[in-house]
Amino acid sequence: MDQDRAKKISEIENRINKEIENLRLDVKASTDIKSLELLKSKYLGKKSCLLSIRKSIGSLDSEIKPVAGKMTNALKQEIDKIISEKEIEIGELEREREMAEEALDLTLPGRKPRKGSISIISRVTEEIEKIFIGMGFEIAGGPEVETDYYNFEALNTPRDHPARSLHDTMFINDNVLLRTQTSPVQIRYMEQNKPPIAIIVPGKVYRKDYDVSHTPMFTQIEGLVVDRGINFGNLKWTLETFVREIFGNERKVRFRPHYFPFTEPSAEVDVSCKNCNGKGCRVCSWKGWLEILGAGMVDPELYKFVNYDPEEVSGFAFGLGIERICMLKYGIDDLRLFFENDLRFIKQF
Ligand code: DAH
């Protein structure tokens, strides 16, 4: 009888050992959590060897039941232990792999973002601002969407005025438009301030135009000085000083009579051609001179719109196109280049 029991026990022992051996092999071959889950159900689930041994215990001799019970419990513990050890091992491996994937190689050379630079127009605008600030001017501004009143009417350019046809105006409706010039800021500023006034107004302006010397948007700087006793001599000195500062001392300046609705008298200002030094060449269309700005004494008509007394004050105004100054300064022959964003052009500055 003892022999019989011993045999039974050793039979169970063999099955258990075999089972553990199989489990070890299976666990060794498994490389991820998913396959480990499958092993759990294979070795602990309904069809597992563990369960079948447990079921068979009921029919065993009562003497060996407790022994067999202990052995199956030990088997269960062993299975749990082997699987959970592997679980930890796989977890660590997976974390290591994730870390390796996310790792930064700090020794790699960086990718340099392309450096932008200040546009040539902004740069020249700043240069011009500095020159005028040095002469005591302040910087002012106004809206790009403007009313007919400020852009034309109060600048002495009523609706039937022939000078209007020179501005290819972009209207938004009958009374609202994209400003064609920075001059409306003259009126806006005078409405809000009393003389003495000395301002410059850089800003974008808009006209329906497109060719080598015209773009639908371009940049102007307006200037306005109003005080007691301002005369044409002040205007001349201011603009001559400006031209020498921006283009160099050797350039000559000349004033030509002209017409603007808001100045009287009016002038256009030319600078001697740098290319031919005034002799005449292709750049200056054989004139020896290049036109750079419009100017004049503020027409007293304007003071009526802003409640200034023309008997008390007088002033001068001027307006220049910044792109034009850039073109002359850097020998650029097509205005459209400024706005086409061609890196070959932009990179030169
Ligand atoms: N606003 C003029 C234009 O766009 C330029 C100008 C001329 C402005 C004479 C002035 C001036 O202030 O006095 O053509």
Cα 320 to middle of ligand 1, angstroms: 7
**What whole-number distance in Å separates Cα of residue 226 and Cα of residue 195?**
6
The secondary structure of residue 214, as a DSSP letter, is: B
CA of 294 to the centre of ligand 1 (A): 5
Contacts of 20 (CB under 8 A, 6+ apart): 75, 78, 79, 82
Look at residue 289 in the predicted model and tell me its pLDDT.
Answer: 92
pLDDT at 60: 85
Distance 349 CA to ligand 1 centre (A): 28
CA of 182 to the centre of ligand 1 (A): 8
User: How many residues are listed for the chain in this entry?
Assistant: 349
Ligand 1 neighbourhood includes 156 CB (under 6 angstroms)? no
- Preceding peptide of 196 cis, ω within 30°: yes
In this structure, the residue with its CA closest to atom 6 of ligand 1 is: 319
Ligand 1 site, residue 142, Cβ cutoff 6 A: no
Residue 184 CB less than 6 A away from ligand 1: no
For ligand 1, say whether the CB of 315 is within 6 Å of any of its atoms: no
Query: Within the chain, which residues score under 70 in pLDDT?
Result: 1
CATH annotation of 120-346: 3.30.930.10
In DSSP terms, 255 is beta-bridged to 269
Q: Mutate which of 151, 182, 183 to test ligand 1's pocket (most atoms within 8 Å of Cβ)?
A: 183
Beta carbon of 296 within 6 Å of any ligand 1 atom? yes
Q: Give residue 167's pLDDT.
A: 75
What's the gap in Å between 295 CA and the centre of ligand 1?
6
Say if strands 138-139 and 197-206 run parallel, antiparallel, or are unpaired.
parallel
Of 181, 182, 292, which is best to mutate to test ligand 1, by the most ligand atoms within 8 angstroms of its C-beta?
181
Task: Please say whether the dihedral angle defined by the alpha carbons of residues 127, 293, 329 and 141, taken in this order, is positive or negative.
Answer: positive
Q: How far is the CA of 346 from the centre of ligand 1 (A)?
A: 28
pLDDT at 124: 95
What pLDDT is recorded for position 166?
72
pLDDT at residue number 43 = 93
Rounded to whole angstroms, how far apart are CA atoms 284 and 272?
Answer: 9
Rounded to the nearest angstrom, the distance between the alpha carbon of 39 and the centre of ligand 1 is 89
How far from chain centre, in Å, is Cα 249? Answer: 38
Residue type, 216: P
Other beta carbons less than 10 A from residue 88's beta carbon? 10
Distance 250 CA to ligand 1 centre (A): 26
